[in-house]
Amino acid sequence: MKKYFNLFDFKQKVDYKTEILSGLTVALALVPEAIAFALIPGFSPLTGLYAAFVLCFITSILGGRPGMISGATGAVAVIFVGLILELKRTFPEIGPEGILQYTFATVIIAGILQILAGVLRLGKFIRLVPHPVMFGFVNGLAIIIFMAQFPNFYQKGTDQLLEGSSFYMMLGLTLLTMLIIWGFPKLTKAIPSSLLAILVVSAIVIGFGIDTVTVADTMSEGESISGGFPPLSIPQIPFTLETLKIIFPYAAIVAGVGLIESLLTLNIVDEITETRGRSNKECVAQGTANIFSGFLSGMGGCAMIGQSLINTSSGARARLSGITAAVMLLVFIMFGSSLIERLPMAALVGLMFMVAIGTFEWASFKTFGKMPKSDVVVMVLVTLITAITHNLAVAVLLGVIISALAYSWENAKRIRARKRVDENGVKHYEIYGPLFFGSTTLFSEKFDVLNDPDEVIIDFKESRVADMSGIEALNKITERYAKVGKKVHLRHLSKDCVRLLKNAEDIIDVNVLEDPTYKVVSDQIGN
């Protein structure tokens, strides 16, 4: 019999057992990731683990997407590399402890900016991200997750592959992990296959004393994941305008990258679970979590697509799984560090390989030759930028910009004009398609000012003026008619177009005659 209860989500039924087991699996997967991301800017493993605990715990309670997992991430860690270089240029004598203090302050400011984004309801703009960009983002992350596992097949501190039995043992255990994760659900889904795979492979390695790469081997000499509850740390930095000038740009980048990755991950989990998260609530939760992370000795972070997919694929759908993962991670730090450090990396590598395979949108290959070329180009470009630079914000923003330009170009080509002369000798131009910055040139080319009769009607029944460029185009075409003494009327302008024209009167001269039927504008040419 399944046990159900409501935890912070009164409409959400929670499977107690599934949530707990899934949370435990996620906690195990969080350990090596948090350690690896902490080492990117040269922080201690505990700095990454504390961030993972705080972010996972707070966003699981307050976030807008139950089941989504947050923690220390590589996208945020890379930003701190730039901050550290800036600090060393500005303060040549600064040491590791001083760098940490500035890092914590940066994370706190980033959290404040994220909360502001949520309060101002900016999270809704994630809906502007086109599907090809989403495909590219997901595929790029899958490649990053996959490639990030290969250093575990190298000898520690070198670029040399493991040799002989060490390499084959690592490969064999990794494949065994993947086989269990793939095959066990075909037998039963009573236990998450990811957790079972980690336990089985770990039991084989520890029970038989197999010499293979463990979690402890991924850390530097003398480092450990053993620690206490995250210590309160109020950043010890000078609170001056000069300090703000140094850290604010990096805080803004951390906030932006964190929100982009979190909200895109939210959309992906929405599609998987066929439910809808709340983007603005997630912004506030991410910001709150980062503020706490900065005050509790953590390096900050955002949503993690890999761990989120582990969680959802294990059947978790509510907040309890994330809370369990955070609590178990803290238990590992405080009481189980010696055991966790003995876990074979092969089990965790195999798990992340399966996550990468599951993350990649294999259906995106079907778009080649079937979807518009611009969409395919955007998808491939975002994938490559994400995979090569690990700069998710740049990849997504560039993808959105290219998609917008492609859309504008296509719409610019759609503007047309049907021409006719009525029984009174008045020439009509019936405009089709939007008049905006991209279509103004083609619009202007539709008119034969010199050869047209003395009175012209431009009919916008099937068109609309979309922006100031469109207004300026109208202004110029009416000026051309005015110079040769001809009259122009505008007809069937929509209410929003009329409003645009009236608002523009203080900026540019709108040289059009009053439309006697529709009362559009009131300026007379030549008056």
- Given this model, what pLDDT does residue 522 score? 36
Across 404-523, where does the E strand assignment appear? 416-421, 427-435, 455-465, 487-491
- Given this model, what pLDDT does residue 83 score? 93
- Mean per-residue pLDDT for 48-70? 96
Structure tokens at 453: 């009769």
- Given this model, what pLDDT does residue 504 score? 63
- Given this model, what pLDDT does residue 520 score? 39
- Mean per-residue pLDDT for 58-70? 95
Query: Is residue 306 within 8 Å of residue 29, measured between CB atoms?
Result: yes
d(CA 305, CA 286): 15
- Mean per-residue pLDDT for 480-509? 76
> Which residue, chain included where needed, has tokens 């859309």?
407
CA angle 133, 134, 137 (to 5 degrees): 85
Is the pLDDT assigned to residue 372 strictly greater than 90?
Answer: no
Q: How far is CA 152 from the centre of its chain?
A: 27
pLDDT band at 505 (very low <50, low <70, confident <90, very high): low
DSSP-derived secondary structure letter, 487: E
- Given this model, what pLDDT does residue 140 score? 86
Is the pLDDT assigned to residue 501 strictly greater than 90?
Answer: no
Exposed, middle or buried, 27 (CB in 10 Å: 0-12/13-18/19+)? buried
Q: How far is CA 200 from the centre of its chain?
A: 34
CA angle 196, 199, 204 (to 5 degrees): 125
Is the pLDDT assigned to residue 1 strictly greater than 50?
Answer: no
The domains of the chain, with CATH numbers, are: 12-383 (no CATH), 416-506 (3.30.750.24)
DSSP-derived secondary structure letter, 158: S
- Given this model, what pLDDT does residue 12 score? 57
d(CA 397, CA 264): 12
Quick one: the chain helix, strand, coil %, rounded to 5? 60, 10, 30
CA angle 490, 495, 497 (to 5 degrees): 60
Query: Is residue 405 within 8 Å of residue 374, measured between CB atoms?
Result: no
- Is pLDDT larger for residue 78 or for residue 510? 78
pLDDT band at 513 (very low <50, low <70, confident <90, very high): very low
Q: Helices 45-62 and 16-39 sit at what angle, rounded to 10 degrees?
A: 140
Whole-number mean pLDDT of the chain? 86
Write the pLDDT tens digit of every residue in 429-474. 999 988 888 899 999 999 999 999 999 999 888 888 888 888 888 8
**Residue 207: which residues within 8 A CB-CB, separation 6 or more?**
none
Cα separations in angstroms, 378 against 125, 400, 405: 19, 8, 11
Is the pLDDT assigned to residue 521 strictly greater than 50?
Answer: no
What pTM did the predictor assign?
0.76
d(CA 87, CA 129): 34
d(CA 325, CA 311): 10
Is the pLDDT assigned to residue 518 strictly greater than 80?
Answer: no
Q: What is the DSSP string of 263-332?
A: HHHHHHHHHHHT----HHHHHHHHHHHHHHHHHTT----EE-HHHHHHHHHTT--SHHHHHHHHHHHHHH
- Given this model, what pLDDT does residue 409 score? 85
- Mean per-residue pLDDT for 383-409? 84
Write the pLDDT tens digit of every residue in 136-161. 888 887 888 788 888 889 887 777 88
Among 153-162, 376-385, 516-525, name the one with the lowest average pLDDT. 516-525
Among 158-162, 394-398, 519-523, name the one with the lowest average pLDDT. 519-523
Is the pLDDT assigned to residue 134 strictly greater than 90?
Answer: no
Write the pLDDT tens digit of every residue in 237-283. 999 999 999 999 999 989 988 998 899 899 989 988 888 899 999 99
pLDDT band at 9 (very low <50, low <70, confident <90, very high): low
